[in-house]
Amino acid sequence: MTAFSIVLLAMIAAFLGMRLYSVLGKRTGHEQEPVLPRRDERGAPAPVRLDDADALPAPQGSAVDPSKLVYEPAAEAGLRTLLASDRHFDAGRFMEGAEAAYRMILEAYWSGDRDTLRDLCDDDSYQAFADAIDAREARGERLDNRLVGIDSAKITAVAVHRGEARITVRYLADISAVTRDAEGRMIAGSMSDATQTDDLWTFRRAIGSNDPNWVLDEAESA
């Protein structure tokens, strides 16, 4: 075999090796990934309207650190039921929006912003907030509250019934709460001490609706 033939065969082998790598060494888009993203796998923050995103395939038995999930284990069956009904639902993107909604709704209530509450709440939840604002204003009081931070936010329950999805989220947060009178004097609370809250908020949305917005359906303390 001539030197030229040896070099030619080596070049062919190298070319075939590169072709095999291009096929086997790259993702094809069909690999199995967790259907419910871990917190550290979520992308950029989504808008409050909780836009949908393509759902990922179901996990194939891989071990998952529960502390990194955006949902509690008891909610997994409900999430899979929701994904079977709405292939565009993505738990990670939902939680990005749910955390933003938590902050916006609280701040709107504290400041008396009824328009924002109207956009983010259903009729009953909005009315409850509006009544509380009316009572506060009638007393001549205002809130000087601040959300210090959300320590934890996870989906605790998911229900699908008659074409509607309801998702309950548990928020553990630190809030600095101060109530002032009409003259600005502090009559309750503390500017220096934050109180830890444990809230359960339920959001709902019609599956398949052209409106991607989830609205607050119920809010209570755990």
- Identify the residue with better confidence: 119 or 20: 119
Residue boundaries of the structural domains of the chain:
32-221
- Would you say residue 97 has pLDDT above 70? yes
Cα 118–122–127 angle (5° rounding)?
65
Range among 3-7, 56-60, 215-219 rated most confident: 215-219
Structure tokens at 79: 């999430």
pLDDT in tens, 37-54: 333 444 443 433 343 333
The whole-angstrom separation of Cα 218 and Cα 194 is: 24
Which H or E run contains 92? Answer: helix 91-111
* The predicted structure's pLDDT at residue 222: 79
Which H or E run contains 80? Answer: helix 76-85
Beta bridge partners of 198: 172
- Would you say residue 82 has pLDDT above 70? yes
The whole-angstrom separation of Cα 33 and Cα 40 is: 14
pLDDT in tens, 150-200: 999 999 999 999 999 999 999 999 999 999 999 999 999 988 889 999 999
For the structural domain made of 32-221, what CATH number should be given?
A: 3.10.450.240
